[in-house]
Structure formats: structure tokens, C-alpha cells
A and B are shown apart, each in its own frame.
Chain A
């Protein structure tokens, strides 16, 4: 293999930053610690790891960029035979936007809402003199077509808010490809998308990479996604290299324990329970709208939750999952229908419910950091429901708080800490303890694992299952992640545009024949298997041909 076939070579990269933790003196931390990598022309390298692993920092460093406060303190980044860290301002200008381009996670935040898409797509190509305006537009339109965007000739005239999130992400990929770069850095390009949209974007990115022969760094925390697009995978943790190998080897025969954990992350043993006796909560024909408006966000929704069991509510964003939770908790009184708890009607409005009604229904939120008052200690946060519902105070309260902390597998030492001093997983555990403190019959879990890293999320799910067995509490589990559903649900309700389109026990819902939407949802969940993407896409094409 001739030497010049290597496009990007990073040698012993070190990146540091100064952090300002509350109540402590500022100090330096190492974000990337001696990472080396090599990328050949036309190949795709997946960078994977949990948050804080340094994936994005490495990605940006390959164009000699550091986010605010970040310093590249050592190593070399060689792109096309020159060290970009020594390129200087002029050198970098000719490099960025021409030889190397970046596709950000949130296209919605990355596009300028004041300019038309086409102006933004061709800008870099024109500025760098890769093509004149007409040529660049022609090229962009071809790429729009290739990435199967609707109305490729005119979509460039739209503004960013006039296309959907998935389309915008594809437009951003076009933007990157338009100046015919040698390298594209994809930084979690599908993470913010719904699972049914993700598959299209993923397929588009993969086709584009294959057809243009561009090399790519693909950054993500989802191993199943990266397995679809990359030739090689590099696993990172705490800024250090864990394992680097061919995709096949990483997902089939991981050599390191950490990689193995990532590969087997969704494997939770859970036996489905039979529905027993009277449901703890029944939602009956609930229709609800916000602000008395004409648009029904929930349409005639009926579901039952049985004691000590889990009902998973799945659907894409905007399907009405969280609104269902608001209707159950009384935050949004339904227009029609009723919510029954243990056989009796609950008043629709929160203010009319008794303290005991409130105690029986607890809630855990998606973003644990904003679900806890930052000015209260863990002890206060967990202790308040004890005081409020049971009048337990003083020593007895402290003792109960300790017991609860033990239940969520955290020590007593955490009682005097503030939420800011906890990790993401610990925060969510404290929220679970707060809910448990009320001894509820039902806990509503609203996307409780979506903001967490896979391994941490896994720990939370296991904890929830253990607690369910111990406390006999029922869960209403709202999620968009079907893998989570498979691992913890007893029954499933699939929601689409405000209605329940499929509802029943887990085995029944997940057994064919499916309705169209459930089929689409199920077939969109990436599997840890090379070639899954092609299979899924082709089976989808066959179906639409068959229709």
C-alpha cells in the first residue's frame, strides 16, 4: 500500500481544557489522551463512546478546531500530507470548508434561519472557488436528488423552517458534499431524529459516501448505527483508545470488556407478566387539546395499567405520548373521557385531586437536572415527599432517606450533596428515589433514559425492574426507543398522531401481522448487524412496490 493512500493521520493527540467546578479551584483536565488514528481515502471510521469520551473533540481537532476553552496541547494531525495544527490562519481557511467539512448533530440549530437553504449549501464551495455559483447549484441539485429530498430543483429556495428535521439533516450532508471535500466529519447526525427518519438519513449518508468516495469520521454513541456505515470502529472512553478494529470484529468478537458491554447493552432479561385482576389505572376514551384549541392532541385514547406491571407507550415525537402523561396526572384536564384509579374516577383537574390521589401517581422526568431544584440537597429532595405525605420528620425521616438511597444503590454520603454535584445517572436515581418515597402505585416515566449514555441507561432500567419486583409498583413508560420497550414492557401501546394504533401484551404487539405504522417503527430500529440497513431499506422498497 503506497504511503499517500492515507488521508488523515492523527498521532498521539492530546487535548486539554480548564474546568471551573462549583466550589473548587479551576484546574486542567485532559479530554483526549494520546489518541492516534489513520484513515484512508474513501473509508469510514466510526468513533464511538459515551459522553465525555472525547469523540467530538477528536472530530473537530482533525480540522484543527477546538471548542471554547479547549487547547490542543500535543500530537500531530496530518491531512493530505500536511500538519494542520501548524497550518496557520490562512492555511486553515483554505482547508476548512474545502478539504474537510463538518456535519453537526442538530441541523436545526446549525442552519441560519434567515437565509434560504441553497445560499447556505453552496456558500463554501463558491467562496473557496471550487465552483462558480451556477455550477455549485447544479451540483447541489444533483445531490438533493441523490439524497432523495423532495422536489430537488426547488427545495433550495426554502428556508430552514420549511423542511422537516430529517430533510434538514440531509441538506446539511449535501452542504458538506457540495465542495467535494476529502473528509467529512459526521457528529451524531441522526441522534436528534426519530427512529423512522433516522433510517432514511442513514441510508442517504451511506449512499453519498459510497458514490462520492469521500472519507468520513462518523461520531455517535449508538453502536448499532455506526455498524451500518463504517468500515472500522474505534471505541473511546475517557479520552483514551479502548479498541480499534474492523466493524465485523468489534461487534462480533469484541476483545475488551468495555466494548463487550457496549455491544450487549440492550440485553436485559425480562419475562412478560400476565395482566391480573383489576387495573390500577384505566384511561378511558380520553380526548385532550391544549388551551381549549380545536386540535385534539389525544384522540379517544384508552389503555389499562395493571398493578406491578409496565405499560410502554411508544411513538415518534409529536405522537401525544407526553400529553397522555399530562392528562393522567391532571396537568391537562381531558376534554372527554375519564381516568380511573383503582376503580374510582379521578377528577380531571389537578387542584381537585386529594393528596392521596397525588401520592399514588408519581412522575419521573426525562431531564433529571431540571427535575430537581438545584438549591436543594439530595436529602431535602427525597425527604420532602416523606414529610408532605406521611408527616415523617427529623431522625425518622433521615433514616427513611438513607434506606431509599440504599435502594437506588447510592450511599448515605450523597444526602448533603446538591444536584450539580451528581452525574447524569445519579441524578436520575435520585428522581426515582423521590418518586418511591411517596409509596405510589404507579410511576410515570417520561423518556427517563433518553438523555443518558447507553450503559448508564441500562443501569437505570435494571434498577427500575428490581424496584418493581420489590415494591410492586406499576410503570407507565413513555419512550421512543423500541429496544428499551422490548427489554422492560409487559404491555405496549403504540401511538401515532394522538391515537393508539396498536395496544396489547408485549408478545401480541410484537408478533406479526403488524399494522403499517408498527411495522415501520419496528423495522426502523437499528440492529447490531452488518447489512441490516440494506435489508431494511430493500424490504421497505419491496413493500411499497407491492402496495
Chain B
């Protein structure tokens, strides 16, 4: 089944796994507390503080590890929300059709016509800044993209003879959606899942960088770039480390998503000769 994993995908898998392990076991791995002040401001890298200290004299490595936890957790929750919401609504719109489809699709068009970041900024500055609001806002905004994709995929599958056969048998909409359409729509959706997750990581980082995401003293990568950005003019690399981590996570998940996409398309008879 797993014939051979190409090196790029292997690299992606290993890195993604490392990030995930770090996120899950953060309290065990971090040498210091996330808000504990352990030294002077912006100390260089030493054997005691591998990545140095940040703008308040906290251990940067420990903040990176806790930051991985926050960033990945929020991105995961928002992705799960956007996929559940987007795909169920998208499938329903495709299968039921008619005015439900029109209503949902035009509403999604409306949401998509507003730039996501600006929309999120407005909503988040009005609502109380909790993790829940953040996840809900990000999830709902991103669900529009998932809706578009899953509706398009489901419309294609919906006209297949096997779906018609299920309807002629008298199956209900729930069976049609979950048993006939969903299994066949999974491969494009799984590939999209990786990409959406990366967007979520970037999104939450951007919001935190702008001060509307995770609130200090909680650690998260976007917020850490913001906290340490003033050091750059003094030649202090503390801001670049969380930035690099964001990039590394994005790339490694992308490599995995790419590989999954290739593998699932070859299941359907190869990627063309």
C-alpha cells in the first residue's frame, strides 16, 4: 500500500511530526516556564538559553515550544471548524440544490467579497478577545473556501449514476451525502485540509502580529515576532526565529499535502500518461 515515500514527503512527515510532538508535550520539553523571566533582555544564544532570551528576558526556546502549542492548537481547531461547517453546507447545497443552494452560495459570495484579514480585524476588535472567538471567526471565514470546493466536488459526483441508483433505491439525503458522496470527495478535501491548515497558521500569526490574536503574556509565534521585532534594528535575531518556525511548519505540511494529493490521484488510475 505505502509503496515508497518520496524524500520530500518524508522530510515533510518528519518535520510535521516533530512540530506536533513539540506542541503536545510542550510542558515536558520546555526548560523554563513560558512567562518566567530568567535573564537580561535579548541575551545571545548560550548553553543555558539555546536560543537566547526575548524582549522581557524570558527564555526564547521555552516560549517557542509553548508557542508551537498555542499556534498549532488554534490553527487545528479553526481548520476542524471550517471543514465541518464548509463541507457539510457545501454537500448539502450540491445535493439539495434549489433555493437552499442559492441562499448559501450567495451568502458565501458575500463573505468572500470582503477581504478576510480586514473582516477579521473588524470583528475581533468588537468582540471580546478570547481563544473561542478567535477560533470561531477564523473557522467561519475560512469555511467559505471549503464550502466552494466541497460544493464543486459534490456537484460533479451528484450526477454520477451510482448516486442516481441510490436515489432510485429510496435512500435519504444523509446516506447520499455521507455514504455516496463523501468517500469520493475525500481525496481533494484531504489535500485541501493541509493547505487550509497552513493558511490558518499564517492567519493566526498575522492576527497576533497585529495585536488581535493571542494576547500576551501567552506565547504564540506571530505574537513573538511582534514582541521581538524592535530587536532587528540592533542586529538581534530573536524575531526571526518564530518567523522561521512559521515558514518551516508551512512548508513541511505542504510537502505532506502534496504527497497525499499525488497518492490519492494515482489511486484513481494514475496521473495521466
Q: Tell me whether B128 is interfacial, beta carbon within 8 Å.
A: no
CB atoms of B266 and A358 under 8 A apart: no
By beta carbon, the residue of chain A nearest B184 is A375
| Contact size range, A | 20 to 34
> In the docked arrangement, what's the CA distance between A244 and B66, Å?
78
Looking at the complex, which of A72-80, A198-206, A362-370, A492-500 is the stretch in contact with chain B?
A362-370
Q: Which of A23, A365, A388 contacts B170 (CB 8 A)?
A: A388
> In the docked arrangement, what's the CA distance between A330 and B167, Å?
10
| Contact size range, B | 20 to 34
Chain A proximity of B249: nearest CB distance (Å)? 31
CB atoms of A20 and B266 under 8 A apart: yes
Known: A20-B270, A372-B162. A385 touches B184 (CB 8 A): no
By beta carbon, the residue of chain B nearest A357 is B170
> In the docked arrangement, what's the CA distance between A25 and B270, Å?
12
Residues of A within 8 A of B268 (CB): 22, 374
Known: A20-B270, A22-B267. A375 touches B168 (CB 8 A): no
CB atoms of B170 and A331 under 8 A apart: no
CB atoms of A370 and B1 under 8 A apart: no
Q: Tell me whether A384 is interfacial, beta carbon within 8 Å.
A: yes
Q: Tell me whether B183 is interfacial, beta carbon within 8 Å.
A: yes
Chain A proximity of B11: nearest CB distance (Å)? 24
> In the docked arrangement, what's the CA distance between A22 and B161, Å?
22
> In the docked arrangement, what's the CA distance between A20 and B168, Å?
35
> In the docked arrangement, what's the CA distance between A372 and B267, Å?
16
By beta carbon, the residue of chain B nearest A444 is B168
By beta carbon, the residue of chain A nearest B171 is A388
B158-203 contacts to A (CB < 8 Å) = 160-162, 164-165, 167-171, 179-180, 183-184
Residues of B within 8 A of A358 (CB): 168-170
> In the docked arrangement, what's the CA distance between A199 and B266, Å?
42
B84-123 contacts to A (CB < 8 Å) = none
CB atoms of B169 and A365 under 8 A apart: no
Chain A proximity of B273: nearest CB distance (Å)? 3
Residues of B within 8 A of A20 (CB): 266, 269-270
Q: Which of B162, B180, B269 contacts A370 (CB 8 A)?
A: B162
CB atoms of A367 and B161 under 8 A apart: yes
CB atoms of A355 and B170 under 8 A apart: yes
Fill in one digit per residue for A325-342: 1 if any B CB lies within 8 Å of its CB, else 0. 000011100000000000
Residues of B within 8 A of A420 (CB): 269
Q: Tell me whether A69 is interfacial, beta carbon within 8 Å.
A: yes
Residues of B within 8 A of A384 (CB): 169
Q: Tell me whether B3 is interfacial, beta carbon within 8 Å.
A: yes
Residues of A within 8 A of B161 (CB): 365, 367, 370-371
> Which of A23, A358, A365, A373 has the most chain B CB within a 10 Å cutoff?
A373
CB atoms of B273 and A331 under 8 A apart: no
Known: A355-B170, A375-B184. A23 touches B165 (CB 8 A): no
Residues of A within 8 A of B3 (CB): 25
CB atoms of A23 and B168 under 8 A apart: no
Fill in one digit per residue for B1-40: 1 if any A CB lies within 8 Å of its CB, else 0. 1010000000000000000000000000000000000000
Residues of A within 8 A of B165 (CB): 363, 365, 371, 434
Q: Tell me whether A68 is interfacial, beta carbon within 8 Å.
A: yes
Q: Tell me whether A350 is interfacial, beta carbon within 8 Å.
A: yes
Chain A proximity of B164: nearest CB distance (Å)? 7
Chain A proximity of B174: nearest CB distance (Å)? 13
B247-266 contacts to A (CB < 8 Å) = 266
Q: Which residues of A contact B (CB under 8 A)?
A: 20, 22-23, 25, 67-69, 329-331, 350, 353, 355, 358-359, 361-363, 365, 367, 370-376, 384-385, 388, 420, 434, 438
17 contacts between A and B (CB under 8 A): A25-B3, A69-B273, A329-B168, A330-B168, A331-B167, A350-B168, A355-B170, A358-B169, A358-B170, A361-B168, A365-B165, A370-B161, A373-B179, A374-B184, A376-B183, A384-B169, A388-B169
Besides the known contacts A329-B168, A370-B160, A373-B162, 7 further A-B residue pairs in the complex with CB atoms under 8 A apart:
A20-B269, A20-B270, A67-B273, A350-B168, A371-B161, A373-B179, A420-B269
The 8 residue pairs across chains A and B that have the minimum distance between CB atoms? A68-B273, A69-B273, A375-B183, A371-B161, A358-B170, A20-B270, A373-B162, A370-B161
